[in-house]
Amino acid sequence: MKEIIAMHGWAGNSNQWSNWEQIFKCYEWEWRNSERGYTAISPHIPKWNHNSNQVKLKRVAICHSLGSHLIDKQVLYSATHVVLINSFSRFIPSGKENRPIKLALNRMMDAINTPNEASMLRKFHVKAYKPNHIDADSIESNLINISDLGRVKLKKDLKLLIDSDSLPIGLNTLANVLIVNSEEDNILANQTKAKLAEDLRKHLKFLPKIINLQDEGHSITKIKNIKKIKHWLEFNHAKNMV
């Protein structure tokens, strides 16, 4: 059996996985989305359908960005495979270069629940998709119908991102982990990516594998790159795909 639970990142929603879900379901994967519920989509915390320890069973947690820290901890712990897409252990790098990042994050925090909220979120989503295009409808879907509870979650989760300094709670040391890094990511600093790889090497029994994508930004959009990740999950390469 092959099943996936996917978790979006900060200010996102489960609609971002539509292409992923379509591709994986064509190859007989079971797919379910976690949903934080910032907008009109109801919050949802799925559980694994298959909980045995069969050798051929794959329970895959796919997490985008902050999603690795937002996903249900028991789901993460029980995953046989974990895909970390432009994720992090510590978001803000240590050292002097972290000051502009801290300032930018604090400005985003201050904009929530103010007249500047929509503008801030719009800029964030455009930056997350660069160098790829995101259509206006997709952006607006992340801005409309944000509930009062959704704003509370936006603030709470942004603070979680700002304060992050370690691997997500619940990551099993026996999991097979794939790090997916976009070389044109305008959200994560290179030092942040290196820190995640370092922390994972110390934590895991098996070395994490790495895929570097040259033509993607923080959000993965290209079908060929989604298929690269599917290929790794199905064939479990012994060497890094760089």
Query: What pLDDT score does 52 carry?
Result: 66
Would you call the peptide bond into 208 cis, given omega within 30 degrees of 0 as the criterion? no
For every one of its 242 residues, what pLDDT tens digit does the chain have, with 9 covering 90 and above? 899 999 999 999 999 999 999 999 999 999 999 999 999 899 999 999 987 666 678 999 999 999 999 999 999 999 999 999 999 999 999 987 789 999 999 999 999 999 999 999 999 999 999 999 887 776 776 666 788 999 999 999 999 999 999 999 999 999 999 999 999 999 999 999 999 999 999 999 999 999 999 999 999 999 999 999 999 999 864 344 43
Identify the domain containing residue 81 by its residue range.
1-241
Query: What pLDDT score does 144 carry?
Result: 66
Q: Look up the pTM and report it.
A: 0.94
Distance CA 20, CA 241 (A): 20
Amino acid letter, residue 61: A
DSSP at 180: E
DSSP codes of every residue in 105-138: HHHHHHHTTSTTHHHHHHHHHHHHHTTS---HHH
Whether 206 and 172 have beta carbons less than 8 Å apart is answered as no
Query: What pLDDT score does 135 carry?
Result: 77
Q: How many domains does the chain have?
A: 1
Query: What pLDDT score does 242 carry?
Result: 37
Whether 175 and 63 have beta carbons less than 8 Å apart is answered as no
CATH number at residue 221: 3.40.50.1820
